[in-house]
Structure 1
Amino acid sequence: MTSRQKSTPKFDLRKWTHFLALGFGSGLAPKAPGTFGTLAALPLIFLQSLLNPQWAMVWILFAFVLGCYVCGQTAKDIGEHDHGAIVWDEVAGYSLAMWCIPFEWQYLLIGFLLFRFFDIVKPWPIRLLDKTIHGGFGIMIDDMLAGFFSWLILFALVQWQAFS
């Protein structure tokens, strides 16, 4: 059991900050809340795919800034930094991973797997950020970097397929 799963704090889904931080409630899944939080991003990623790249990036930056606030506030309310149920960071990170990527099941699956890999394994420098930066920004930044690394690989794959 990880430190993110030890306690069962009192979340209040009537508070908009908790509702968003918990990925619309998906973070309350008893097993793999980060995975369910990532899946909760799919409707938002669909809407993101309808935007031009600039507006999609505005959405992602908004999700990041909003996440810094709602995740930080929720962590403060429950008295625990980055509890496993706080999954808005996965929503924003997966959104970044899918920026300018076609909304097709193959890419969604590959992006999902890449993002979960980077989010769970936390290779350097993701692990460094996870361990050293705290508060809402700390909760968000490691997942945004995981999303960026996932996007780099996925974008390269899409480009390679376009020229094959």
Structure 2
Amino acid sequence: MNRLMEFIATGFYSGKLPKMPGTWGSILAAILLYFLWPTNLKFQLLIIFITFILSVISADYVAKELGNKDPDCVVIDEILGMEIALLGLSADIKTVFLGLILFRVIDIMKPPPIGFFEKLPGGLGITVDDAVAGVITNVILRLIGGLL
């Protein structure tokens, strides 16, 4: 297996940690976002675009190599979902923590329409369901922020 593709798809190998690989990938994303998330919306969108492309390509590659439609070790999609969850929002500790919790709950429960996107082929299906979970998380974070 191509080491670079594996490194990217597994979120710097965080997806290879024991138990709950998606949660480990999301925690890694939360830490990176807290320390490195730019305040400039254009830079955020650029990062999301690059992560999306890397996710589709690397997830597809690893899934084919492992002969598994959606391998647990692939967590680049969770990283993308967390980025989308914080799009246009402040990466302060409360928002990042709440975003992490909400994103994981939504990603695990997969409320409609998320399940539909999982059925897309290859890396696209692996990636887009988490992107949609990120959008839902972002909307909820904005609603919560508006209420507070």
What interval of TM-score do these two structures reach, taking the shorter chain for normalisation?
over 0.9
Match of 1:149 in 2: 136
TM-score of the pair, normalised by structure 1: 0.84
1:50-89 matches, within 5 Å, as: 50-89=38-77
Gap regions ≥5 residues in structure 2: none
Q: 1:120 aligned to 108, 116, 119, which one?
A: 108
1:1-164 matches, within 5 Å, as: 15-46=3-34, 49-130=37-118, 132-161=119-148
Gap regions ≥5 residues in structure 1: 1-11
Q: Which amino acid aligns with 1:134?
A: P
Say whether the 8 Å CA contact 1:21–1:71 is kept in structure 2.
yes
**How large is the Cα RMSD of the aligned pairs?**
1.5
Displacement of 1:100 after TM fit? 1.7
SS in 2 for 1:41: helix
Report the number of matched residues: 148
Say whether the 8 Å CA contact 2:30–2:100 is kept in structure 1.
no
Say whether the 8 Å CA contact 2:34–2:92 is kept in structure 1.
no
Q: Which amino acid aligns with 1:148?
A: V
TM-score of the pair, normalised by structure 2: 0.92
Structure with bigger gyration radius: 1
Match of 1:4 in 2: none
Displacement of 1:159 after TM fit? 3.4
| Percent identical | 32
Say whether the 8 Å CA contact 1:115–1:147 is kept in structure 2.
yes
Q: Which has the higher helix share?
A: 2
